[in-house]
Structure 1
Amino acid sequence: MRLESLQVLNVRRLQDARLEATAETNLIWGPNGSGKTSILEAIHLLGTGRSFRSHKAGEVITHGAASLVVAGTVREAPNSALRSLGIEKTSSTTRIRADGEPLKSASQLADALPVLTLTADSYHLLDGGPAIRRALLDRTLFHVEHAYLEKLKRAYRALQQRNELLRKGEFSRIEIWNAQFVVHAEEMDQIRRGATDRLNRLLAEFSASNDLPEVALDYRRGWKAGMSLAELLEQHSVRDREMGFTGDGPHRAEVRISCAGRPAAQVVSRGQGKLVLAVLLAAHAELIAEKSGRRPVLLVDDLAAELDRTSVRKALSTLLGTRCQTFLTTIEPEVFANAIDASTKVFHVEQGKIRSSQAALA
């Protein structure tokens, strides 16, 4: 997958910015507040329909503007047709298009432009709650298993209906939703477990090449081992009725990240944590490529922060080794001078303006 061009209107400081990004590796540099992270944010918007920095569109739109627009052209393979994608957001509406035709959902954008993103907030994958780790796994599985999104939607629809009946005390109708919930939850569990097993094999390889204690994922499905979900829903029916919600199921799943068998957040420094996250991102990228035949676009914000130059080279080698198109941001481009080759495209951003800047690595 390759993003070949990008046009950004009214995304934070980027009032009217264009980027021709035909290279596999693209380095974007500039001072803090220049707009370089907003370029990654715009690409993320184009690939997911949302920002990675704010849930409120009004906070992303340039002050004084009514809407933002991000448009781009993508090519799935070197000889495939060029596709056009676009998204327009106001504070209350979203419109998305592909090849000039309106799309109904952001998942269609995600299918057209798969992206994986690493930012400072990604550290919450290590020290945050389980929801953020479930979300990463589920986003990856959307690209890995064609039917996964529908299974997830059906499981959560049944869960929502079951919880509503629990809150209202309408217990006579719960069995209908129990049956649907169990079927789709167990399908989700099977897919999640298989993906986690493969991710762990990839993580073992990447950990060794980065001199890290072995990074691994400890997957817990969200209900007690050795019992079926149907049995547990029956066993815990009184508890669920008293609490008014469902206490067992895939919505309670956990994917713990460990280093050498211990919780990663407890044993790694901030710098090591960034290496762990780079390894995790690379493993997810490889899984998507293996299962879908398409390599996602990687968006990596300020990789060099909190890393020494040796660690930067290791992390960069791991990420670029995936052969995914990669967009990197930095304050100091010289940090990357000996870590990337002449084919890298370099851009300088200042006050929301983008220009080619190959000489920065000289």
Structure 2
Amino acid sequence: MPLLLHKLNLTHFRGYDALRLDFAGAQIVVLTGLNGAGKTNILEAISLLAPGKGLRGADLLDMKNRLASAEDLWAVAAEVETASGLPMRIGTGLDREFKRRLIRINGRDARSQNELASIISAVWLTPQMDRLFLDGASGRRKFFDRLAFAFDEEHAARLNRYDKSLRERLKVLQGEMGVDPVWLSNLEAQLAADAVCIAATRRQLLEQMARYVEKLYAGKTLFPAPEISVSGWAESETGLRAAVDIEEDLRARFRDSRRADMLAGKSHEGVHRSDFLVTHRDRGMPAAQCSTGEQKGLLVSIVLAHALMMQGEQGFTPILLLDEVAAHLDDARRDELFRYLLSLNGQIFLTGTDPEIFAALRPAAMFCAVEPGRVGIANKGSTRQQAMP
């Protein structure tokens, strides 16, 4: 069964004072409107239902509607049907006292946002990601780690714990928390244990995706074929040696780098320094050196291959949030993208300024006209999936 978002309610969120949307089981939802109308705000709200900071990675205080009163707090609530067919109610918003993000699942407070991982997963492409291959490694790690969230529910929790331990270790080294040798060793042991699991999940993701890239290109797609690898000491050792030996060596590497880390104010060892490398396979060219159109095509290929992988290995597709993805594709590639999306047994949200760009998705898609502060339903679409020709 597909993972489906049935209803979405926004309160004092971004440009919406109050918005209630019922997607009526539609698997493809097209949001169209002028730039600045609020299309991406809806995608951001959906992304906040999954673990993480959302597709913008914005500060929680910045998500509040600017016209709301000082006492008002923003909130996003949804009714979801899981891939196993279970109805779930999810809510997230800003805590008044601690200015942190709150999560509620079926009316109860969640201990952490990691509990969302077993309910919903989402993958997105936004215009800001067009520089993914040109900017630093951090953005690429976040992108590929999010792909890993979908098939390994514990990956997000491990990354959060790893980042927290990394920050605490640095504070200990710099004397902010007092130098306790036992505590420092325990922190490094936890870092090493989590790093081994993180590295293994990343390697598993790329190995599985490589098989589905081949399946995607068996149909002679117009999109470029990506070759993806990960550079990092722990990832390179994974599969060659026993996990316990890698973990022991990581503890030693953390221990040996203490002085350098203290002086530099940063940690030189660990999976937070790894990078994902993407190459245009047919041209043998790093993605960073490809044209803007080729880079966009490589991103689309990665998301499609991941969707096929999830469908084949896990039996469902994450919710796809595709912000202005179709606008910069030529007609042939746009039509091919739409054919693949129609063939997926999952829910996809697309945005654009011109509804005619998405004409090939009729009558399957629900079309929504977005204006500042409101959304109108143009047609309700179909809940049935179509086979890929």
Give me the TM-score of the superposition, normalised by structure 1: 0.86
**1:115 CA drift (Å):** 1.0
Contact 1:124 1:132 in 2 (8 A): no
CA distance in 2, matches of 1:110, 1:179: 25
Q: For residue 40 of structure 2, what is the aligned residue in structure 1?
A: 37
Task: Output aligned runs, 1:58-97, within 5 Å.
Answer: 58-65=61-68, 66-77=72-83, 80-89=85-94, 92-97=99-104
Q: Superposition pairs for residues 130-149 of structure 1, below 5 Å? A: 130-149=137-156
Residue 3 (1) aligns with residue 5 (2): yes
**1:69-88 CA distances to partner (integer Å, 9 max, x unpaired)?**
221111114x7232111122
Correspondence 1:96-115 to 2 at 5 A = 96-115=103-122
Letter in 1 for 2:130: Y
Deviations 1:323-354, CA, capped at 9 Å, x for gaps: 2200111111111212x242211111122221
Match of 2:213 in 1: 203
Check conservation: 1:72, 1:85, Cα contact below 8 A.
yes
CA deviation after TM superposition for structure 1 residue 27, in Å: 1.0
- 1:197-346 → structure 2 map (5 Å cutoff): 197-206=207-216, 209-222=220-233, 228-230=249-251, 232-233=253-254, 236=257, 239-240=260-261, 242-260=263-281, 261-269=284-292, 271-338=293-360, 340-346=361-367
The answer to whether the 8 Å contact 1:145/1:291 transfers is: no
> Which one-letter code corresponds to 2:232 in the other structure?
R
- In structure 1, runs of 5+ residues without a counterpart are none
**Other-structure match for 1:16:** 18
Structure 2: how far apart are the matches of 1:329 and 1:224? 36
User: Per-residue displacement from partner, 1:118-153 (whole Å, max 9, x unpaired)?
Assistant: 110122322221111212222232332244344444
**Letter matched to residue 55 of structure 2:** F
When structure 1 is superposed on structure 2, of 36-45 and 88-97 the one drifting more is 88-97
Structure 2 residue matching 1:10: 3-state secondary structure: strand
CA contact (8 A) 1:10 1:67 kept: yes
Conserved? CA contact 2:34–2:371, under 8 Å: yes
Q: Distance in 2 between matches of 1:217 and 1:359?
A: 38
- The SS at the match of 1:52 is coil
Say if 1:320 and 1:253 are closer, same or farther in 2 by CA, change over 3 A. Answer: farther
Q: Is the 8 A contact 1:279 1:318 kept in 2?
A: no
Figure out how many residues of one structure are paired with residues of the other and give that number: 357
Distance 1:281 1:312 in 2: 15
Secondary structure class of the residue paired with 1:73: strand
1:357 Cα deviation from its structure 2 partner: 1.1
Q: Deviations over 1:54-76 (max 9, x none)?
A: 52233222112122222111111
Alignment root-mean-square deviation, CA? 3.0
| Sequence identity percentage | 27
Cross-structure match for 1:188? 198
1:49, CA displacement in angstroms? Answer: 6.2
2:385 alignment partner in structure 1 = none
Cα 1:152–1:347, aligned 2, differ >3 Å: closer, same or farther? Answer: closer
Gaps of 5+ in 2: 238-245, 382-389
